[in-house]
Amino acid sequence: MDTEQRAVRVGELTFDVEIGGPDGGKWVLLLHGFPVNGSCYAEVVPRLHESGLRTIVLNQRGYSAGARPEGVENYRIEHLVADAIGVLDALEVQYALLVGHDWGSLVGWHLAAKHPDRFTGYVAASIGHPSAIRDALEGSDQRDRSSYIKDFIAEGAEKTLLARKGVLLRRAGVSAEELVPLSEPGAMTAALNWYRANFTGDIAANLACGPVEVPTTMVWSDDDPTSSREQAAGSSRYCYSEYRFCELPGVDHWIPQHAAPALASEIALRSAVF
């Protein structure tokens, strides 16, 4: 089924958005993480269309060339949340099922908590509720798993991560093709600014998120080196509606790319509930 590329204006920013799926299908908004753009859902989207769902894949702030403002402060999570709502408003989409992976999951938790009237449900992949992450940092190996963040916020991280055609990120499982957009002027700095804006200073305050009251599915993979089971499964404590935990054995962090059928099935299942 064909997809359509659109440039969606939100305030002074223009976002690259891919829309597809059958007319009349329930809307699904998919949010990517670091360091890949919405192309990470390339194998997920066709499966959702086959399930009768209509998709919106958003290249978020910093990943869309027309939405790449300068200044670390412009990448605080409240701006990322507002962007997603702005895109839905511009497309005149009142309700959608929400899906997020990695950083997209963090944005998704905030969206689901702050705008429950806009989402029929939420499917988070890899990254749990911010409060569950806080708990896991105190009571599991999550602090060690998150140690890479200090390298991402360091001065000169752009040069390090782009060196030798992004060898460090490729070793972590990102494909060379997925890294191409980050070679655009300012793109890597913008992507890293998500970390610099939210993982410095009072991190707990920066990422503080209320409970989620929409039906939620948490998808976690047991071969993920960066995200512990505790922060994923512990998200149930902060979900006040129907909750499902799905564990994918033998899958690494890159669930949309490496477990597309399983993720698509969970999204379709969550959509079918409401």
DSSP 191-233: HHHHHHHHSSSSHHHHH----B-S-EEEEEETT-SSS-HHHHH
Confidence of residue 204 (pLDDT cuts 50, 70, 90): confident
CATH of the domain at 40: 3.40.50.1820
Confidence of residue 274 (pLDDT cuts 50, 70, 90): low
Confidence of residue 86 (pLDDT cuts 50, 70, 90): very high
Q: Residue 266 carries which side chain, given as an amino acid letter?
A: E
Confidence of residue 21 (pLDDT cuts 50, 70, 90): very high
In the predicted model, what is the mean pLDDT of residues 23-32?
A: 97
pLDDT at 1: 62
Find the domain containing 152 and state its range: 3-273
Residue 4 has pLDDT above 80, yes or no: yes
Q: How many percent of the chain have pLDDT more than 90?
A: 96
Question: What mean pLDDT is reported for the chain?
Answer: 96
pLDDT at 231: 97
In the predicted model, what is the mean pLDDT of residues 61-84?
A: 98
pLDDT at 8: 98
Number of domains within the chain? 1
Give the integer Cα–Cα distance in Å for 91 and 81. 16
pTM for the model stands at 0.97
